């Protein structure tokens, strides 16, 4: 039963107020793109056992999508940030590096 | 006005807390970013309230201006005043990217009153009332549906979607039964 | 292997059961094998078993990070059915179901397959149409199912409230030869049979790397050292992504938590398996008397084998509405498993970008019922290097081509 | 004889007798009794039968760990099986019966299993019942099922109600013994927001029973003071009868408060499930005493030593007159001393330790109790009650030295911390060899959302057992540094004893019970180890050890010690099984909370719902809505009603409540661009005042929703969605706007519920509206596929000239608050034109006659618009729209896809729902090949024959061909492929 702080309204929302939305920072590939790219966008998933970046919507709340950095093995949350970002913010990356020295990084 | 009916026709329930459906109230969903020129002025013109800050609700008489999200406000005015309010908003925000829409009939509104009114909500919403400040609008859920509520006039005002008004009334009735006080 | 029978028990009883031999051996790994299967769950063990039985390949190691049968095989609600809509699904699940019919005799281990019948309730007109479609499809697929009306449902399950009022039962998709089996026994029975064929089941041995040369697999690094192999089968369910990563490819798979629970045991009251998809709940009664209940899947990646409690609540709400008499039963134990979900919620039995490396995963919430069929198809793929008809449609490249095997199109979305 | 003593009993009120029945026998206890205490007070030593062998079972414990004393309790809507008597508070009028026997508790034929026990070892069923195949299902399984199970099956609906509540705190302390109280005092004084809960009805836990002194006062007084002090703190909330059932991630704790179990029918909720979010949890959950494994340790009258002390001190109940005490530690001497001081006989204390020193043994000896060091029980004798014990040396194989008559045995094998809440979320344990138990490893706690320790343990749960240590540990757990001082006797070290005597022969080991309820014995665990079920999880599952309703609270540690010994492995290497919630079983009703009956799920209602109900609508669920399926008149079947409604709509005029249709406003400078991405066709060029049908696809390319879009003004569009699609599509729009195209200037608003929307459909539709009066609804003023705002019969309306039936049709939206009044006005105005309401099934028939597709019927998540001949609604000009790339994939672009056609039988009959068109031959899996399927099939009352739509390989190129389609009985029928538009192909009627 996760708690994630919505970066838009500041509410420490509990899981039942949120809707999960899968892996974050996927790049959309549209018409004409190579099959592999489209497949990677739609289907291939990192599914890491460890640090993961994912999408959440504060569905029973302000309705905004946001992103979270979370460990899928311990459920520790490293931070949340707005959806309008193309890669994890530096401060969250630094925090993860400090807590998970063997983390291989976002890519 | 007899043809205008609130969702439950003013249903009431008296248990350890007092529950009643009120309305319909005039409600406007206003979508605009806070930095839109003239927004604060427009909101004040319509409601008499200042532009609410994050998670805040401002009250002025029966009027309300609530912060719903970084680009959404809930304005409450008399039911008959919506048309004029929309016109005012259109005028004040002309040329600015915004959306103001009448949602008066899409909502049901409840009052929960009594010393232990908070206990009714504690059974339904995963919200920490000890950290809920006066003047805070909290969007959450009431059991299985979306709801927003705030403290007002010694009780709580709760807003939900109109179609689930009967369900929410059922929840409130179940939660407010005498003998089911929490503390 | 000494055969199990009532006579064996009587004989052993006279000597206080001191003479039973080990059900399976626990050897140290050899330096190399013809085939290494990673994962000693039901699917991995069944793969090994049919490699031996159908193809005579017995120089096989089954490597398990924990204890055999300790993953989803030992954590599910033991439902067995094959009333699937799509042809490839119906084929493999029916193959599995038909193998379950004789599995106890085949393995000489009582897996307690109990074809007690399985009902999928239709509680909306939409569901009625979806299940009728499934019955028509099953008739052409050679899967025996039927559509039954509400009266027959009530007759089969007297404790059910079929009158609603919210979701009256409009009928049900009924598979009379669906049912349950004892989940642990399936793993143990296969393990014993594999061991008897001379295969090595190596528990407490985690794979830490996959080695290859010229695009072809050569072996695996493990916590018990390097093990060479000519062929590698990856059958690790929720951890498929991690092992695939070692083998150098990415899967269309996400690992999510799925939960189940049991009540305290009561005397027999329900002799069929009931699934109610509109309200999200399914229930059967175990031979011990516990009501075995399955819930929904979380929507986020999770490797903890713990789920979110709201799914338990949601399921129990639904089941109390459907079976009002269970309200005063008590939840004895709840648990979670990690299920591997693919992009179309159907499994993958496939060659991979790495030569002689094969993968079997993505069974999601429906794996237990498939075990014998999955092992059968995977064994064929590993042995021949090419999929047979059972596995062909389940290749991992179908997503790129858009060739989904989507079972959610019928009303019955839960597995 | 088990009796009530004349004096004592700190928890009972002798002035308040409570009458109850057990198996129909009328018995009496006192207020404050547990049911178990009251049964013992009435000499009811035999209370049930075990699961497998149906052996006689007596009360063995005094709390939540009790495995035996479970009863069927109550009647009718308050009947509950498997009620644990040791945690059930007695109330006047309680009725209960014992479980798992036939015909009676005293004479149970199931006990035959006991005589055959030798042939029924652990896992025997895996090795037999294999042949013949059919016998398992038809013979063996039914016998096993009938003999298994425990309590009776409830028959009735639950008469009680339940509720849930949320709570938040800095610190949740579970357990109201001295550790919990001290932790609460410490944290409370520090100003933390504290919740303190205790599963029983009393604060104080064991300390008052054990006669501990704290800060120079008796524990009882200290507890009283502590409770008073805590009650005075505003930041501390205290709950009795509240059991912390499980701890979940991020500090979420479920606690079951038994509000009215002891006062049934008083109108309060029976249970309240608290969902607590705690910043940190202190588990002050105490410890549980372990039994000793000796032959006959399951005979009624054999009881945990501390439990016997509880019955004596708390409830003035003496389970026996002559009690033999057997132990491996000093604590059990307290029981012997208490019994002796109560005037009861203790013929001997058998202490497995070779040397016995320390204060408590000295005191026992001083009281004249015989203490035998290095001795053990070889065997307890008796059937339904202990009659004597045979004594042997602990070191030997069990040669009997002496037999002592007695009627009760108090045993103690040491104590195990209750670590459930610590372990639920992944806290790890250490093996404490000195005390022979697993205790929490503070270095490996369960983690909170920020990576900090979520749970700390306090007191005995930490593995400290002496009162002084308990208080110090609890103080530290709560962040304090000054602990009260407790004084007590010095206790000598315990000595692990897993089998008694140490070298017991197999015939003795076959009589040593580990799991009393599931009948798992020492020999069973040894058998599992011998057969290679060597993981503790394998052993548990193979033998069913610890899987009974007590979840192994008494048996797990003993069992795994036996397993470790059998494997010659150290205990910590064998490890424990996983601890799973709940700590003790929780009633389903409490977990479902308020969600029953009317509020089982939200029921969405349109403003016109009450009218539908009043007019005999037969409803169908559509998502959470209920929509009228049809309005049967007296004597009509649903089918007849649908046909009448359809015909009337075609010939006169029909009225449909379409309020559930989704309505989403999309506005902004980039709204047109946005909608062009969302829909497959172009919406940006739609003229103001005009309507256009549009399709939305998932990014995979599959058709996901459809509806009519209206252009409201220069930068505003109104998008209609399907009834089920409104929230989903709105969320979908917001997803793209927030997460992909966040620089586009577009706002959306879901205004579905703002409007009641009513379709007036049929040749007389215009007449009805004209009768109502107001805005001009003529063909010229409001042509097909346009909309207009206006006033109608005094209502503010927006009228859309759109048709989903092929008839002249208006969909009219009014504010929801006026929806009912407007509907009524239409009903009145329509009366003279033959207007009738029609339901969703009529709607389906009408659209099918016109060949209009329905999301969910023609689509199922695998269908693309091209399959449905909707290519005309897919823009060829647009570079991109959601789903376009997905549709480029080979399988979606294949010419072999099944495409939409009309279908009709040669004889006019209706094609069965779900019917499939087989093709010649079979596939590689032996399945019959197929070439199509029906998607919608109805009897058309307009055409007076069956009509259908379907997807068929080759699609419209095969019009005129006849194919076979399946019937449910396995036969087939002949079906002709036709154009899918069955009615008014030219579309003249809707455009009048």
Residues D758 and D639 in one domain: yes
Nearest C-alpha of chain D: how many angstroms from B57?
Answer: 20
Query: Chains contacting D with at least 3 CB pairs below 8 Å?
Result: A, B, C
d(CA C150, CA D856): 24
Number of domains in chain D: 7
CA distances from A64 to A56, B72, C393, D731, D739 (A): 8, 11, 39, 10, 9
Which of A14, A28, A63 comes nearest D734 by C-beta? A63
- pLDDT level of residue C415 (50, 70, 90 thresholds): very low
Q: Which A residues 28-87 touch D at CB under 8 Å?
A: 28-33, 35, 38, 42, 55, 57, 59, 63-65, 74-77, 83-84
CB distance C250–A44 less than 8 Å? yes
**Residue B4, domain member (yes or no):** no
**Residue A104, domain member (yes or no):** no
CB distance D966–C114 less than 8 Å? no
Q: Which residues contact B153 (CB under 8 A, 6 or more apart)?
A: none
CA distances from D750 to B85, B100, C230, D726 (A): 20, 12, 59, 8
Which of A20, A49, A72 comes nearest C299 by C-beta? A20
Q: Do D855 and D868 form a contact (C-beta atoms < 8 A)? A: no
CB distance B125–D166 less than 8 Å? yes
The 10s digit of each residue's pLDDT in D724-772 is 999 999 999 999 999 999 999 999 999 999 999 999 999 999 999 999 9
d(CA D467, CA D487): 7
**Residue B183, domain member (yes or no):** no
Number of domains in chain A: 1
Domains of chain C: 26-109+182-252+344-409 (3.50.50.60), 118-178+255-342 (3.30.9.10)
Residues D259 and D335 in one domain: no
Share of chain B above pLDDT 70, in %: 99
Q: What is the mean pLDDT of residues D865-890?
A: 96
Average pLDDT, chain D: 96
Q: Is the pLDDT reported for residue B1 higher than 50?
A: no
CATH code at position D967: 2.40.30.110
Nearest C-alpha of chain C: how many angstroms from A3?
Answer: 11
Task: Collect all residues of chain D within an 8 Å Cβ-Cβ radius of residue A38.
Answer: 885-886, 889
Q: Which D residues 531-550 touch C at CB under 8 Å?
A: 531-535, 537-538, 541-542, 544, 549
CB distance A1–D888 less than 8 Å? no
Q: Which residues contact D258 (CB under 8 A, 6 or more apart)?
A: D241, D242, D243, D270, D271
DSSP C11-25: HHHHTTT--PPPSS-
Q: Which D residues 933-952 touch B at CB under 8 Å?
A: none
Chain C CB within 8 Å of residue A77 CB: no
Element (H, E) at D515: strand D513-515
**Residue D176, domain member (yes or no):** yes
d(CA D309, CA D37): 12
Predicted confidence at residue B2, as pLDDT, reads: 64
Q: Of A20, A24, A47, which to mutate for an interface test with C (greatest number of C Cβ within 10 Å)?
A: A47
Predicted confidence at residue D689, as pLDDT, reads: 97
Which of C22, C142, C289 comes nearest D531 by C-beta? C22
- pLDDT level of residue D375 (50, 70, 90 thresholds): very high
CB distance D603–B164 less than 8 Å? yes
Residues D702 and D655 in one domain: no
Chain C CB within 8 Å of residue A55 CB: no
CB distance A35–C253 less than 8 Å? no
Chain D CB within 8 Å of residue A99 CB: yes
Element (H, E) at D415: strand D415-417
Which of D248, D588, D918 comes nearest C330 by C-beta? D588
**Residue D599, domain member (yes or no):** no
**Residue D174, domain member (yes or no):** yes
Task: Collect all residues of chain C within an 8 Å Cβ-Cβ radius of residue A80.
Answer: none
Chain A CB within 8 Å of residue C143 CB: no
Chain B CB within 8 Å of residue A5 CB: no
- pLDDT level of residue C165 (50, 70, 90 thresholds): confident
Structural domain containing residue D53: 3-112
Lowest mean pLDDT of D23-32, D108-117, D564-573, name the range: D108-117
CB distance B167–D602 less than 8 Å? yes
Residues D761 and D695 in one domain: no
CB distance D81–C20 less than 8 Å? no
Predicted confidence at residue C296, as pLDDT, reads: 85
Which of D266, D594, D625 comes nearest B143 by C-beta? D594
Burial D282-315 (b: 16+ CB within 10 A, else e): bbbbbbbbbbbbbbbbbbbbbbbbbbbbbbbbbb
Q: Is the pLDDT reported for residue D798 higher than 80?
A: yes
Task: Collect all residues of chain B within an 8 Å Cβ-Cβ radius of residue D795.
Answer: 3
Structural domain containing residue A84: 3-99
Q: Is the pLDDT reported for residue D661 higher than 60?
A: yes
Task: Collect all residues of chain A within an 8 Å Cβ-Cβ radius of residue B146.
Answer: 59-60
CB distance A75–D251 less than 8 Å? no
Q: Do C126 and D914 form a contact (C-beta atoms < 8 A)? A: no
**Residue B32, domain member (yes or no):** yes
CB distance A17–B140 less than 8 Å? yes
Q: Respond yes or no on whether the N-terminal peptide bond of residue C33 is cis (omega within 30° of 0).
A: no
Q: Is the pLDDT reported for residue C412 higher than 50?
A: no
d(CA C302, CA A1): 12
In D184-328, which ranges are E strands?
194-197, 213-214, 217-218, 236-239, 242-248, 252-257, 271-283, 287-289, 302-304, 317-318, 323-327
**Interface A:D, Cβ pairs < 8 A:** 68
Nearest C-alpha of chain D: how many angstroms from A45?
Answer: 16
Q: What is the mean pLDDT of residues C298-327?
A: 94
Predicted confidence at residue C410, as pLDDT, reads: 56
Q: What is the mean pLDDT of residues D606-629?
A: 96
Residues D748 and D762 in one domain: no
In chain B, which ranges are E strands?
12-14, 18-22, 26-31, 57-60, 63-69, 72-77, 99-102, 107-113, 138-142, 145-152, 155-161
**Residue A91, domain member (yes or no):** yes
- pLDDT level of residue D604 (50, 70, 90 thresholds): very high
Predicted confidence at residue D828, as pLDDT, reads: 97
Which ranges of D116-234 would DSSP assign to H, the alpha helix? 124-127, 133-135, 141-147, 178-189, 207-210, 219-231
Q: Do D435 and D494 form a contact (C-beta atoms < 8 A)? A: yes
Chain A CB within 8 Å of residue B139 CB: yes
CATH code at position B68: 3.30.1360.120
The 10s digit of each residue's pLDDT in B15-25 is 999 999 999 99
Q: What is the mean pLDDT of residues D691-705?
A: 96
CA distances from C312 to C282, C317, C331, C402, D593 (A): 12, 9, 10, 34, 12
CA distances from C148 to A89, D161, D812 (A): 57, 34, 41
Chain C CB within 8 Å of residue A52 CB: yes
For Cα atoms D946, D952, D954, give the angle at the middle one, nearest 5 degrees: 130
- Kindly list the residues of chain D whose beta carbon comes within 8 Å of any beta carbon in chain A: 248-252, 277, 426, 447, 449-451, 699-700, 731, 734-735, 738-740, 742, 879-880, 884-886, 888-889
Which of A59, A75, A84 comes nearest D249 by C-beta? A75
Chain C CB within 8 Å of residue A76 CB: no
Structural domain containing residue B95: 12-175
CATH code at position A48: 3.30.2270.10
Query: Chains contacting B with at least 3 CB pairs below 8 Å?
Result: A, D
Number of domains in chain B: 1
The 10s digit of each residue's pLDDT in A37-91 is 999 999 999 999 999 999 999 999 999 999 999 999 999 999 999 999 999 999 9
**Residue D460, domain member (yes or no):** yes
Nearest C-alpha of chain B: how many angstroms from A16?
Answer: 8
Q: Which residues contact B50 (CB under 8 A, 6 or more apart)?
A: B40, B43, B44, B58, B65
Chain D residue with minimum CA distance to C406 = D862
DSSP state at residue C329: S
Q: Is the pLDDT reported for residue D643 higher than 90?
A: yes
CATH code at position D624: 3.30.1360.120
Sign, CA dihedral C12-C17-C21-C24, equals: positive
Chain D residue with minimum CA distance to B27 = D754
Chain A CB within 8 Å of residue B54 CB: yes
- pLDDT level of residue D112 (50, 70, 90 thresholds): confident
Task: Collect all residues of chain C within an 8 Å Cβ-Cβ radius of residue D913.
Answer: 128-129, 132-133
Q: Is the pLDDT reported for residue D557 higher than 90?
A: yes
Nearest C-alpha of chain D: how many angstroms from A105?
Answer: 19
Predicted confidence at residue D256, as pLDDT, reads: 98
The 10s digit of each residue's pLDDT in C121-146 is 999 999 999 999 999 999 999 999 99
Predicted confidence at residue C414, as pLDDT, reads: 33
Q: Is the pLDDT reported for residue C409 higher than 80?
A: no
Strand D486-487's sheet: what is its strand order? D217-218, D213-214, D486-487
Chain B CB within 8 Å of residue A72 CB: no
CB distance C400–A38 less than 8 Å? yes
Q: Do D968 and C136 form a contact (C-beta atoms < 8 A)? A: yes
CATH code at position D365: 3.50.50.60
């Amino acid at each position: 039963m996760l708690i994630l702080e919505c970066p838009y309204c500041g509410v420490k929302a509990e899981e039942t107020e949120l809707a999960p939305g899968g892996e974050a920072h996927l790049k959309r590939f549209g018409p004409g793109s190579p099959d592999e790219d489209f497949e990677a966008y739609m289907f291939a998933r990192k599914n890491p056992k460890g640090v993961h970046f994912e999408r959440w919507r504060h569905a029973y709340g302000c309705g905004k999508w946001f992103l979270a950095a979370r460990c899928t093995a311990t459920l520790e949350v490293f931070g949340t940030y707005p959806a309008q970002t193309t890669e994890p913010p530096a401060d969250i990356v630094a925090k993860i590096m400090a807590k998970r020295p063997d983390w291989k990084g976002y890519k | 006005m007899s043809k205008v009916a609130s969702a439950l026709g003013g249903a009431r329930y008296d248990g350890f807390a007092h529950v009643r459906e009120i309305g319909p109230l005039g409600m406007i969903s206003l979508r605009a970013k806070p930095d839109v020129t003239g927004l604060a002025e427009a909101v004040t013109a319509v409601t008499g309230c200042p532009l609410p800050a994050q998670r805040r609700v401002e009250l002025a008489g029966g009027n309300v201006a609530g912060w719903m999200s970084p680009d959404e406000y809930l304005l409450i005015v008399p039911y008959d005043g919506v048309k004029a309010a929309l016109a005012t908003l259109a005028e004040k925000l002309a040329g600015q990217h915004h959306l103001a829409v009448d949602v008066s009939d899409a909502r049901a509104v409840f009052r929960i009153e009594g010393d232990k009114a908070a206990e009714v909500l504690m059974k339904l919403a995963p919200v920490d009332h000890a950290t809920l400040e006066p003047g805070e609008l909290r969007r959450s859920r009431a059991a299985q549906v979306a709801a927003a509520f705030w403290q007002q006039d010694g009780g709580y005002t709760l807003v939900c979607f109109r179609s689930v008004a009967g369900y929410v009334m059922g929840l409130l009735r179940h939660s407010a039964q005498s003998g089911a006080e929490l503390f | 292997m000494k055969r199990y029978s009532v006579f064996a028990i009587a004989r052993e009883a006279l000597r206080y059961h001191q003479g039973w031999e080990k059900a399976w051996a626990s050897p140290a790994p050899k330096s190399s094998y013809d085939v290494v299967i990673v994962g000693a769950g039901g699917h991995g063990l069944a793969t090994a078993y049919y490699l031996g039985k159908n193809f005579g390949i017995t120089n096989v190691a089954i490597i398990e990070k924990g204890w055999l049968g300790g993953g989803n095989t030992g954590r599910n609600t033991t439902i067995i059915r094959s009333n699937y809509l799509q042809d490839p699904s119906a084929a493999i699940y029916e193959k599995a179901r038909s193998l379950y019919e004789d599995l106890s005799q085949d393995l000489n281990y009582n897996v307690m397959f109990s074809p007690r019948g399985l009902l999928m309730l239709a509680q909306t007109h939409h569901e009625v149409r979806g299940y009728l479609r499934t019955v028509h499809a099953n008739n052409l697929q050679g899967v025996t199912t039927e559509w039954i009306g509400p009266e027959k449902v009530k007759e089969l399950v007297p404790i059910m409230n079929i009158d609603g009022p919210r979701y009256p039962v409009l009928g049900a998709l009924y598979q009379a030869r669906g049912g349950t089996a004892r989940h642990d026994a399936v793993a143990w029975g296969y393990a014993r049979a594999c061991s008897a064929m001379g295969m090595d089941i190596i528990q407490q041995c985690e794979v830490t790397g996959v080695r290859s040369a010229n695009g072809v697999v050569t072996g695996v690094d493990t916590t018990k050292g390097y093990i060479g192999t000519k062929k590698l089968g990856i059958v690790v369910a929720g951890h498929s992504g991690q092992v695939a990563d070692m083998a150098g490819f990415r899967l269309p798979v996400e690992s999510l938590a799925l939960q189940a629970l049991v009540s305290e045991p009561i005397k027999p009251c329900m002799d069929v398996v009931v699934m109610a998809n509109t309200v999200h709940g399914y229930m059967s009664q175990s031979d011990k008397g516990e009501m075995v209940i399955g819930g929904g899947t979380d929507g986020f990646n999770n490797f903890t084998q713990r789920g979110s409690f709201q799914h338990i609540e949601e399921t129990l709400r639904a089941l109390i509405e459907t079976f009002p008499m269970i309200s005063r039963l008590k939840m004895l134990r709840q648990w979670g498993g990690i299920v591997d979900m693919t992009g179309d919620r159907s499994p993958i039995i496939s060659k991979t970008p790495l030569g002689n490396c094969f993968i079997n995963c993505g069974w999601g919430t429906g794996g237990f019922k498939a075990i014998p069929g999955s092992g059968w198809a995977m064994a064929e793929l590993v042995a021949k290097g090419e999929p047979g008809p059972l596995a062909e449609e389940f290749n991992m490249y179908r997503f790129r081509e858009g060739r989904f095997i989507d079972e959610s199109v019928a009303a019955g979305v839960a597995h | 004889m088990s009796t009530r003593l004349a004096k004592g009993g700190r928890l009972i009120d002798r002035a308040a007798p409570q009458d109850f029945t057990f198996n129909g026998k009328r018995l009496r206890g006192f207020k404050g009794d547990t049911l178990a205490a009251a049964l013992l007070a009435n000499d009811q030593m035999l209370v049930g039968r075990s699961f497998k062998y149906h052996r006689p079972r007596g009360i063995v414990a005094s709390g939540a760990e009790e495995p035996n004393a479970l009863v069927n309790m109550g009647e009718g809507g308050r009947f509950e099986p498997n009620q644990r008597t040791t945690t059930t508070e007695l109330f006047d009028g309680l009725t209960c019966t014992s479980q798992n026997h036939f015909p009676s508790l005293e004479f149970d034929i199931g006990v035959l299993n006991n005589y055959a026990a030798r042939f029924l070892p652990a896992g025997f069923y895996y090795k037999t019942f294999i042949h013949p195949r059919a016998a398992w299902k038809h013979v063996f399984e039914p016998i096993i099922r009938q003999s298994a199970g425990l309590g009776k099956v409830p028959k009735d609906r639950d008469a009680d109600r339940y509720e849930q509540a949320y709570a938040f705190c800095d610190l949740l302390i579970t357990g109201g013994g001295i550790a919990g109280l001290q932790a609460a005092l410490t944290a409370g004084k520090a100003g933390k927001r504290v919740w303190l809960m205790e599963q029983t009805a009393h604060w104080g836990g064991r300390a008052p029973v054990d006669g501990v002194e704290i800060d120079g006062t008796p524990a009882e007084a200290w507890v009283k003071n502590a409770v008073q002090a805590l009650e005075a703190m505003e930041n501390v909330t205290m709950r009795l009868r509240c059991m912390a059932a499980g701890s979940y991630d991020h500090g979420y704790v479920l606690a079951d408060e038994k509000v009215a179990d002891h006062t049934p029918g008083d109108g309060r909720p029976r249970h309240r499930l608290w969902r607590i979010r705690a910043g940190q949890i202190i588990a002050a959950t105490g410890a549980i005493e372990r039994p000793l494994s000796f032959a006959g340790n399951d005979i009624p009258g054999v009881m945990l030593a501390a439990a016997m002390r509880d019955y004596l001190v708390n409830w003035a109940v003496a389970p026996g007159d002559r009690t033999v005490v057997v132990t491996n530690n000093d604590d059990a001497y307290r029981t012997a001393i208490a019994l002796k001081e109560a005037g009861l006989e203790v013929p001997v204390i058998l202490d497995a330790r070779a040397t016995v020193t320390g204060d408590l043994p000295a005191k026992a000896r001083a009281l004249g109790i015989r203490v035998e060091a290095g001795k053990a029980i070889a065997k307890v004798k008796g059937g339904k009650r202990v009659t004597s014990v045979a004594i042997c040396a602990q070191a030997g194989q069990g040669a009997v030295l002496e037999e002592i008559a007695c009627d009760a045995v108090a045993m103690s094998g040491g104590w195990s911390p209750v670590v459930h809440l610590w372990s639920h979320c992944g806290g790890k344990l250490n093996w404490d060899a000195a005390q022979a138990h697993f205790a929490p490893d503070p270095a490996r706690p369960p983690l909170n959302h920020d990576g900090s320790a979520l749970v700390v343990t306090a007191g005995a749960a930490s593995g400290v057992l002496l009162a002084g240590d308990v208080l110090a540990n609890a103080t530290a757990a709560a962040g304090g540094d000054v602990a009260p001082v407790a004084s007590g006797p010095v206790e000598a070290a315990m000595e692990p004893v897993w089998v008694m005597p140490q070298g017991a022969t197999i015939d003795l080991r076959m009589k040593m019970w580990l799991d009393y309820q599931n009948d798992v014995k020492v020999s069973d665990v040894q058998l599992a180890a011998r057969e290679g079920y060597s993981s503790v999880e394998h052993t548990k599952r193979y033998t069913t050890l610890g899987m009974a309703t007590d979840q192994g609270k008494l048996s797990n540690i003993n069992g795994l010690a036996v397993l470790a010994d059998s494997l010659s492995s150290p205990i910590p290497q064998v490890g424990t099984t996983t601890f799973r919630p709940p700590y003790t079983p929780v009633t389903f009703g409490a977990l479902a909370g308020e969600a029953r009956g009317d509020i089982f799920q939200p029921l969405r209602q349109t403003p016109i719902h009450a009218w539908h109900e009043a007019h005999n609508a037969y409803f169908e669920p559509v998502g959470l809505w209920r929509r009228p399926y049809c309005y049967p008149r007296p004597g009509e079947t649903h089918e007849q009603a649908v046909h009448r409604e359809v015909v009337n709509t075609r010939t006169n005029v029909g009225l449909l409540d379409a309020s559930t249709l989704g309505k989403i406003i999309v506005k902004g400078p980039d709204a047109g661009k946005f909608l062009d991405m969302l829909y497959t066709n172009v919406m940006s060029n739609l003229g103001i005042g005009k309507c256009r049908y549009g399709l939305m696809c998932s990014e995979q390319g599959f058709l996901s929703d459809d509806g009519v879009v209206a252009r409201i003004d220069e930068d505003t569009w109104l998008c209609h969605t399907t009834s089920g699609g409104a929230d989903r599509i709105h969320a979908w729009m917001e997803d793209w706007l927030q997460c992909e195209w966040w620089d586009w200037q577009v706002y959306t608003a879901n205004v579905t519920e703002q409007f009641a929307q009513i379709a007036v459909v049929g040749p007389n539709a215009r007449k009805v509206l004209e009768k109502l009066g107001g805005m001009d609804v003529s063909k010229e003023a409001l042509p097909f596929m346009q909309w207009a705002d206006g006033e109608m019969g005094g209502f503010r309306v927006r009228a859309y000239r759109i048709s989903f039936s092929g008839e002249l049709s208006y969909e009219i939206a009014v504010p929801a608050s006026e929806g009912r009044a407007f509907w009524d006005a239409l009903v009145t105005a329509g009366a003279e034109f033959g207007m009738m309401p029609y339901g969703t099934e009529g709607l389906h028939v009408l659209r099918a006659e016109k060949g209009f597709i329905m999301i969910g019927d023609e689509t199922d998540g695998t269908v693309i618009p091209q399959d449905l001949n909707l290519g005309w609604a897919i823009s060829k000009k647009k570079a991109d729209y959601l789903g376009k790339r997905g549709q480029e994939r080979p399988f979606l672009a294949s010419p072999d896809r099944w495409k939409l056609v009309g279908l009709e039988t040669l004889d006019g009959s209706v094609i069965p729902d779900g019917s499939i068109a087989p093709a010649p031959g079979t596939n590689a899996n032996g399945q019959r090949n197929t070439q199509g399927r029906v998607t919608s099939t109805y009897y058309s009352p307009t055409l007076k024959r069956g009509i259908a739509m379907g997807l068929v390989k080759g699609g419209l190129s095969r019009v005129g061909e006849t194919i076979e389609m399946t019937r449910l009985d396995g036969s087939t029928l002949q079906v002709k492929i036709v154009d899918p538009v069955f009615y008014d192909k030219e579309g003249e009627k809707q455009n009048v």
